[in-house]
Structures are given as C-alpha cells and as structure tokens.
Amino acid sequence: MQAAPASPSERDKAFRRVREWTRARFTLPDATTILVSEMACALPGCPPLETHVLFLPPGAKRHHFKLFKPIGEVLPEDLPYGWLKDTLVVPEGAGCDCC
C-alpha cells in the first residue's frame, strides 16, 4: 500500500531540509545555489520518483547527484559523503537531461 501524498507544507519542509543537509555535508558557502527537485523516472529499474540535487558554488563547476527515493523519504545519511564532492562535478558537455 502506498503512503498518502505529503501536504504542500510538508513537501516544502522536505525540500528545505535536503538543501540544508547538502550545504552542511559539502561545506558550501551561503552564496552557493542549491536546487532540489523530485522527478519521475520511467526507465526500467528506476524508482517511480527520485530526488535530484544540483549545486553551483560561486566560481566553480556544477555538481549533481540523485537519490533513488522521493523527497519525503530522504534522510541525511542518503547524501553522498562530503569527501566525494569533486566526483559530483558534471563534466563540460555532459548530456544531463535533468539540469
């Protein structure tokens, strides 16, 4: 049985939490843009909803990671380790259709 959808205020809080956890996990300055989105995935083997996180520190390259669960189920321990920050850089010309 599927859980009832979260109210808009609960979803807003979940998005805010993931942004705050991302800023803390990667020690990002306040001027860093952090975008969090929840996207449907229709590919075989994908969860129905996944959470995408993109961050762009000032003067640095775009970073991206995704979590294979809906935003309301994301926990701090789901985020990549901070020491993996450099591996999350999206290479120039990469075909990233999400961001």
pTM for this one?
0.84
The model's pLDDT over 34-47, given as tens digits with 9 standing for 90+, comes to: 999 999 988 888 89
Residue type, 42: A
In a domain, 49, yes or no: yes
The model's pLDDT over 19-35, given as tens digits with 9 standing for 90+, comes to: 999 999 999 999 999 99
How many domains is the chain built from?
1
Question: Domain of 58?
Answer: 32-89
Arithmetic mean of pLDDT, 41-58 = 92
